[in-house]
Amino acid sequence: MNDELIETFLAEAHELIVDLEKALLQLESDPANSEAISATFRAMHTLKGSAAMFGFQSVSEITHDIESIYQDIRDGRRNLDQQVLTITFQTLDHLRVALQQQIHTDPEFVSHHAALLSAIKGLLTSQNDLSAQDIPKALNGVCTYYINFEPHKNILKNGTNPLYLVDDLLVLGHGVCHPYIYELPDLASIEPDACYMGFELLLATDKSVPEIQSVFLFVEEQCKVEIIKLGESDKLRDISQTELPWNNRQDLLPVGVDAIQAFIKRTGVKQKLQKAVGTQSRGQKANNVRVSADQLDDLMNLVSELVTTQARLALFSNEHNSSELGSISENIEKITRRLRDNAFTMSLVPLDTIVVRFQRLINDLSKDLHKPIEFKAEGMDTKIDKSIIEKLTDPLLHIIRNSVDHGIERTETRITSGKSAKGTVLLKSYYSGANVLIEIHDDGGGIDLERVRQKAINKGLIDPQTSLTEQELIDLIFLPGFSTAAKVTDVSGRGVGMDVVRRNISDIRGEVLVRTKRNEGTVFTIKLPLTLSILDGILVKVGGTHFVLPLTSVAKCYEVETSQMESTYNQWITLEGKRTPFIYLRREFGVADQAPHLSQIINVPYNGTYVGLAVDRIEGEYQAVLKPLGYYYQQQQEFSGATILGNGTVALVLDANKLINKLTIEK
């Protein structure tokens, strides 16, 4: 069998499983969601078909029966109960395993497979006949109405607020409202307490016309109400609200029932057409093209090369005073920048691709720990470089696990402290400059700083005499070997803790910050760069070689006399009245040529304090396109990569933390 085809199948299958998981989670909270049910059915159906084609027998076997169950549910022949849902979730986990090709002979897998299969078969035979009235009447009796509500001018004088009436209408079902002005006198003759407005509504509800009319019971005399039935079903679900006729109008007049009716008819036809075109065009996915990650990486590399070449061209054109060359170079610069931005956005993926896993984790934990928890996610359309997302999942899972396990209190404790019984975990993400911020909020008990302190003392991490600020106490949880859980649970507190989280995050050039308040909760903030391939830094020179130091590790720069550093026998220097350890890079890098009279010391944050890095010269800010140094320099961890300067030479990118670490260990 063609390997490439199998790979495509596997990639698709994994996507289907993610879709499936999403749909199932929806069903868990809303079992009557007909869309999620058909999505489940469709995914199972597709999986079955393609799995059989590629010889994944176990996958097609197991999806076959599940598919029939969901077909019955979809057609209203059975109810979706907890048992079905549990088994579907198990199937999902099983499918993930089954997609590994080698596993099929594994005895454990085979027995699990058989057990699951018989459980599903059991579900099929135990199928209870549903009588017609048991079918959830989700959509039964819903009609769509056009309502024109035009209050009289003097309605406000009676203390009636027409907006409340509109609200009353909208709670009957769901709908949209469009206000209009029917008469607007000159500014001179306008009466400030008169109402010149009316409202057009589209309402989908299962209530009857008299019930709708009853909303206007007390204002019948003071308004004109028109209620016209548009159709027997929920038309609002089919139409896009931004395309409604009143959105294209320049004036403020009502559009009238005829225009609305015509519009709904039009969209109805359009939809039928879309359905006829085929099932492949499912929503937005229709316009996407699948590109392999390798190809994308290639594109990124080429763009980076173009950026460097363009920098050379710009340099060259500056040296040669030709206006034509200058304008060509400028043009290329513009195009390159656009191409670069374009290519970078392509390798960005939205966070919601990993959110499903968190949802699942929280659901499971909530059951295991008997803590009812609501998981909310905001801003999950925020996009980050795909290579960052891959490395982000584990740290996030760990933090969320901690929030649920240690953060959210037991239900009794929550009630006595006057909180709602249900805990909340909020995952929130947004852009901030060239960074992406991801926050994990919990409304739990907050971090008990006194306990943190005691624990750190017991573990010998701090001296009992030292007084620490609140922030310093919080930072203790990031120390290796620190874990505050009083008892070791299955969930968290295995000793591998926050230190690993911080390290993983700093590997992708991010930071972790914590804010906590007793009884109100804790917020973990992860600050990440948008992309890993471009780095903001400062360009410095040591001897004849250029280095780039990431801006994140630059706190402050000082100018000092070189002789001052050469004469000290210990590596300390006084900066702004503060004794600071420093590293004389000329010496460490074995530079032999004549040192300049003045040197620069760059203060770098390191383990909560500062260390100075002494360089010859600071050239300025620099945006570096990162290139790996590769196999031959894998021992030189203190250089995270290299970048190509405008003049075509190579500058090395320093990892200040690792450099300081290495040098201090060597001493």
Is residue 308 near another protein by the rule CB under 8 A?
yes
Is residue 655 near another protein by the rule CB under 8 A?
no
Indicate which single residue of 297, 499, 588, 619 sits in contact with another protein (rule: CB under 8 A).
Answer: 588
Indicate which single residue of 26, 489, 623, 636 sits in contact with another protein (rule: CB under 8 A).
Answer: 636
391 vs 468: CA distance, rounded Å: 32
Cβ nearer to another protein, comparing 112 with 627: 627
Closest approach of another protein to the CB of residue 311, in Å = 10
Q: Which helix (H) or strand (E) holds 246?
A: none
**Residue count, binding to another protein (CB under 8 A):** 30
Is residue 640 near another protein by the rule CB under 8 A?
no
Indicate which single residue of 131, 210, 630, 665 sits in contact with another protein (rule: CB under 8 A).
Answer: 630
Closest approach of another protein to the CB of residue 613, in Å = 13
Is residue 533 near another protein by the rule CB under 8 A?
no
Is residue 627 near another protein by the rule CB under 8 A?
yes
**Site pattern 380..419 for another protein (x: CB under 8 A):** ----------------------------------------
Closest approach of another protein to the CB of residue 487, in Å = 45
Is residue 649 near another protein by the rule CB under 8 A?
yes
Amino acid type, 183: E
Tell me 406's DSSP state. Answer: I
26 vs 36: CA distance, rounded Å: 7
Is residue 593 near another protein by the rule CB under 8 A?
no
Closest approach of another protein to the CB of residue 386, in Å = 21
Region of 30-38, 84-92, 149-157, 636-644 interacting with another protein (CB under 8 A): 636-644
Is residue 545 near another protein by the rule CB under 8 A?
yes
Is residue 266 helix, strand or coil?
helix
Cβ nearer to another protein, comparing 439 with 638: 638
Inter-residue contact 155 to 225 (CB < 8 Å) = no
13-32 per-residue burial string, b: 16 or more CB within 10 A, e: under 16:
beebbbbbbbbbbbbbeebe
Is residue 567 near another protein by the rule CB under 8 A?
no
Indicate which single residue of 239, 554, 651, 656 sits in contact with another protein (rule: CB under 8 A).
Answer: 651
Q: At what angle do helices 386-402 and 498-507 cross, to 10 degrees?
A: 170
Is residue 549 near another protein by the rule CB under 8 A?
no
Is residue 541 near another protein by the rule CB under 8 A?
no
Tokens 């040591």 appear where?
Answer: 542
Is residue 337 near another protein by the rule CB under 8 A?
no
Long-range contacts formed by 637-644: CB under 8 A, 24+ apart: 637/662, 638/662, 643/535, 643/548, 644/308
Closest approach of another protein to the CB of residue 556, in Å = 24
Cβ nearer to another protein, comparing 153 with 662: 662
Closest approach of another protein to the CB of residue 543, in Å = 9
**Bridge partners of 11?**
none
Inter-residue contact 91 to 59 (CB < 8 Å) = no
591 vs 571: CA distance, rounded Å: 18
Is residue 298 near another protein by the rule CB under 8 A?
no
Closest approach of another protein to the CB of residue 650, in Å = 4
Indicate which single residue of 4, 632, 665, 667 sits in contact with another protein (rule: CB under 8 A).
Answer: 632
Inter-residue contact 602 to 557 (CB < 8 Å) = yes
Inter-residue contact 113 to 104 (CB < 8 Å) = no
Is residue 557 near another protein by the rule CB under 8 A?
no
Question: What's the angle, vertex CA 572, arms to CA 582 and CA 662, rounded to 5?
Answer: 40
Cβ nearer to another protein, comparing 190 with 650: 650
Inter-residue contact 639 to 654 (CB < 8 Å) = yes
Q: At what angle do helices 57-74 and 82-98 cross, to 10 degrees?
A: 150
Closest approach of another protein to the CB of residue 500, in Å = 28
Q: Which helix (H) or strand (E) holds 385?
A: strand 383-385
Closest-CA residue to 147 (of 230, 270, 46, 39): 230
Is residue 460 near another protein by the rule CB under 8 A?
no
Indicate which single residue of 639, 646, 658, 661 sits in contact with another protein (rule: CB under 8 A).
Answer: 639
Closest approach of another protein to the CB of residue 649, in Å = 5
374 vs 21: CA distance, rounded Å: 17
Q: What is the gyration radius of the CA atoms in the chain, in angstroms?
A: 33
CA dihedral 405, 409, 410, 411 (to 10 degrees): -130
Region of 129-137, 257-265, 588-596, 611-619 interacting with another protein (CB under 8 A): 588-596
Is residue 136 near another protein by the rule CB under 8 A?
no
Is residue 105 near another protein by the rule CB under 8 A?
no
- CB 271: neighbour CB atoms within 10 A? 12
Inter-residue contact 517 to 635 (CB < 8 Å) = no
Indicate which single residue of 644, 655, 656, 660 sits in contact with another protein (rule: CB under 8 A).
Answer: 644
Closest approach of another protein to the CB of residue 296, in Å = 17
From edge to edge, which strands make up the β-sheet containing 423-432? Answer: 373-378, 423-432, 435-442, 521-529, 511-517
Report CA-CA distances (Å) from 394 to 95, 193, 363, 511, 564.
22, 60, 17, 15, 47
21 vs 400: CA distance, rounded Å: 19
CA dihedral 330, 331, 337, 339 (to 10 degrees): -160
Cβ nearer to another protein, comparing 447 with 644: 644
Is residue 297 near another protein by the rule CB under 8 A?
no
Cβ nearer to another protein, comparing 460 with 590: 590
Cβ nearer to another protein, comparing 247 with 292: 292
Closest approach of another protein to the CB of residue 310, in Å = 10
Is residue 661 near another protein by the rule CB under 8 A?
no
Indicate which single residue of 85, 461, 575, 629 sits in contact with another protein (rule: CB under 8 A).
Answer: 629
**Site pattern 236..275 for another protein (x: CB under 8 A):** ----------------------------------------
Is residue 602 near another protein by the rule CB under 8 A?
no
Burial class (CB in 10 A: 0-12, 13-18, 19+), 414: buried
Closest approach of another protein to the CB of residue 247, in Å = 49
Is residue 476 helix, strand or coil?
helix
Is residue 590 near another protein by the rule CB under 8 A?
yes
Is residue 69 helix, strand or coil?
helix
Is residue 335 near another protein by the rule CB under 8 A?
no
Closest approach of another protein to the CB of residue 662, in Å = 8
Residues that bind another protein (CB under 8 A): 301, 304-306, 308-309, 545-546, 588-590, 627-633, 635-636, 638-639, 641-642, 644, 648-652
